[in-house]
Amino acid sequence: MSNASIVELTARYQMSNYSRFPIAIMRGDGVRLFDADGREYLDFLGGIAVTVLGHANPEVARAISTQAASLVHVSNLFHVPAQSEAAALLSRATTGGKVFFCNSGSEANEAAIKLSRKWSVDRGRTDAFEIVAIDGSFHGRTYGSLSATGQPKFHEGFTPMLPGFRVVPFGDLAALEAALTDKTCALMVEPMQGEIGVRMHPAGWYEAAARLCRERGILLIADEIQTGIGRTGDFLASKHFGVTPDIVTLAKGIANGLPLGAVVARDEVAASFGPGSHGSTFGGNPVCCSAAKVVLETVCAPEFLDEVRRKGVRLSDGLRSLASRRTDIVEVRGMGLMIAAVMTGEAKPISNRCLENGFIVNATGNVLRFLPALTVTDAEIDRALVLLEQSLPGEGRR
């Protein structure tokens, strides 16, 4: 089948809720993708920060194959060896708390919202049900996670949102302090906002927010779905700020492309999820958890995260060098291999030209996002910078 025939088949039989590039991806290898017409692309989107160890990683493929040959699924009425081992690795890599597995980031945030409310009720605080979130945030597309999302454009057509959610202005500590009342059970926050364009909180804001939560007995939920699993050069972005959340939500890169999400909560909070309080049919699937074990064992090696930080600096420095030669790149921001270039205009036409030149990068508003596999090489970073420069409009040159 060709790109054209697959695009036609998709249009005929699938809902049009995705804005898709007009190509069909057939296979991948590291940070390279190949479409149905045989064309090669350098992939700096990584399935939207998912394929942390690259496409078709041999060790992940071997773990998946071995597990699938012995057991694909068993219900959570039984103990699951791969699940237990992945949970141990994840707990040690994050906060030392207990783990609940689900299938996606949205589900992880839904579980975190439910866990926070249950924790409050268990302490007799039945009126403390509010979740406070931040303007510009993105927490998912299910109703609870969508209600916590601080971007009204995602609510359009789906209102009313669920009650019990408050959104405060980005970077406004005074507004946050006023919003955290005796009705609040948790603050849900991304340590660095991803979907809106890799936006950093003002210096000291996240640490102060964590301190406010601690002083007022309010849970801090760190949504590390995009920033976690080593993406920013530490296993959790929260570690860059010296913050230990009560609850962490993870997904995306955790199983290198298989559907797995997770909630990690400190023991006292996790205890509010007793038998029957929450669950998932497929959550913690043994095949997904076998892939997650490879990811976690690889990413948690100290030298691996050192390399992520080093390569992140190489990419950021390269983008800043490019920006110095242009008038249309106003800022380069981010940490590790979660980097953005803020443009003076809409970024979508630029990402389209990048695709024409064999380079895949994400555009959101006026921001280009770079989220390559954490295994990307120096040569691939250098090649990406060349392809980007070739794709930028001529009128932006100094």
Known catalytic residues are: 138, 223, 252
- Burial of residue 225 (number of CB atoms within 10 Å: 0-12, 13-18, 19+): buried
Q: What token pair was written down for 324?
A: 């110095």
Residues in contact with 354: Cβ distance below 8 Å, sequence separation at least 6, in sequence order? 360, 361, 387, 388, 391
DSSP state of 76: T
As a whole number of angstroms, the distance between CA 92 and CA 133 comes to: 27
User: Dihedral angle at the C-alpha atoms of 156, 159, 163, 169, nearest 10 degrees?
Assistant: 20
As a whole number of angstroms, the distance between CA 108 and CA 10 comes to: 29
Question: Beta strand 247-250 with 219-223: parallel, antiparallel or unpaired?
Answer: parallel
Helical H runs in 19-166? 46-49, 58-70, 81-93, 105-122, 143-147
Residues forming a β-bridge with 98: 265
Query: Which SS3 state, helix, strand or coil, does residue 290 take?
Result: helix
Total residue length of the chain:
398
As a whole number of angstroms, the distance between CA 30 and CA 59 comes to: 12
Residue type, 226: Q
* Whether 162 contacts 209, CB under 8 Å: no
Q: What token pair was written down for 200?
A: 């950093």
As a whole number of angstroms, the distance between CA 169 and CA 154 comes to: 17
As a whole number of angstroms, the distance between CA 300 and CA 311 comes to: 17
